[in-house]
Amino acid sequence: MKKYKSFCNRLFPQSKRICVLLLALCLPLGGCRAAGDELSGLADEVQIMLGGEPSEVRKLRQEPVEATDGVHLEYYFQQLSEEEQRVYRQLLSGVREFAQEIDVTSADDTAMNRAYSALLKDHPELFWIQGRDITYKTVHQTYGSFRPGYSYTREEAAAIEQQIALAAEEVKALVGSESSDYEKARLVYEYVIRKTAYRETPLDQNIAGSLGEGQAVCAGYARAVQYLLEELGVECLYVSGTMKDSPEGHAWNIVKLEDAYYYLDATNGDQQEATVDPSGREDILYDYLCPLPTEFEALCQAEEDFSLPACTAVDYNDYIRNGCCFSEYSWDMIYSYICGQIEAGASVVRMKFTDPEAYRQAWTQWIEQEGIAQAAQYYMQWNGLENLQYYYGSLEDLYAIYFMF
């Protein structure tokens, strides 16, 4: 190729068209199809050499951009520009085919990045590109190329897809025909937490880690929740950002329940290895299933690259649903509530406060001044026990206190 280019530059420095003709003449004589293929390949190389585009890229420009893939919500896709949506569709098609290099019809670095980011957020099922492998990108004059870092071969991914499908079938079998969207969200929240151990592994960013290996970090938890709720027909978004007092990124979900949006953070709800309850009885915290929006937003901040639906509803917050969310504090009120819970057979008593000062008063009297000991005495009397080992825990950022008898 370099010889042809040098020859043309010497003899016809002003004539690019003649250069292409000379290249065609240099082809070996042979079958028409073989000659045509070689001519097409050489023409493409010359076109690129002269600042043009390969024929495949030119074909991509002519293809329509589908408004939906017909399966997934694709919330982030809807926020992209027309150019970014076209790149998104081209990347989605290539990634599904495990293409080693994917050409896209944009040379705008920002557009390419936004399209790829939206794709990763919208499609939890693409676990083979949601690992820690590096994706390389090349920007040409008028188009770009991606070389995804695939964590698996197509055959390996197919085997893992079977495991993930089995997990989805398990969840569907647990859902009743009359289950509400909230009941589905709660079920998925519990399922992902019990299925997944918080571990850093090469596959911890995706559903292959959470639903396949049973090990993941926050991205794996959030993508598993998104995947399963989409399977159940519940609108669910993957959200990435940061968490208070943490140097690392964080991921969680936004779920739509009865025409309102709520936060859902299965990672923080997983207490399987925490010290909240050394007995292991309280392995799930429901504080992060539909937490109060203002409290959660003070704890976790989403990235600002895409807009998100506002979460303002509180009806499905676990404390509000169970009548143990208090706006003020008094000893008598809380003691009466605790005794009522014990009489109802509870061995775990939860309470939260919407006022920080009320929470501090409760903490001082029931934890620092060991008011919990009086609650334990009542528990023993009511249940006819001579001794009792009890625990307590708290979530300071959410103003919640737990007693476990």
* Secondary structure of 331-392 in HEC code, one letter for each residue: HHHHHHHHHHHHHCCCCEEEEEECCHHHHHHHHHHHHHCCCHHHHHHHHHHHHCCCCCCCEE
pLDDT computed for residue 6 by the predictor: 29
pTM here is 0.86
What would the DSSP string read from start to end of 113-134? Answer: HHHHHHHHHH-TT-GGGSSSPP
pLDDT computed for residue 17 by the predictor: 37
In this prediction, the residues of the chain whose per-residue pLDDT falls under 70 are 1-51, 272-282
- pLDDT per residue over 59-73, tens digit each? 999 999 999 999 999
Task: Evaluate whether 286 touches 336 at the Cβ level (below 8 Å).
Answer: no
Cα 195 from Cα 205, distance rounded (Å): 15
pLDDT computed for residue 194 by the predictor: 95
Residue with structure tokens 């809380």?
334
Alpha carbon distances (Å) from 123 to 77, 157, 203 = 10, 15, 16
Strand order across the 236-243 sheet: 260-264, 249-257, 236-243, 300-302
pLDDT computed for residue 39 by the predictor: 52
pLDDT computed for residue 283 by the predictor: 74
Residue whose C-alpha is closest to residue 197's, from 266, 279, 250? 266
Task: Evaluate whether 367 touches 392 at the Cβ level (below 8 Å).
Answer: yes
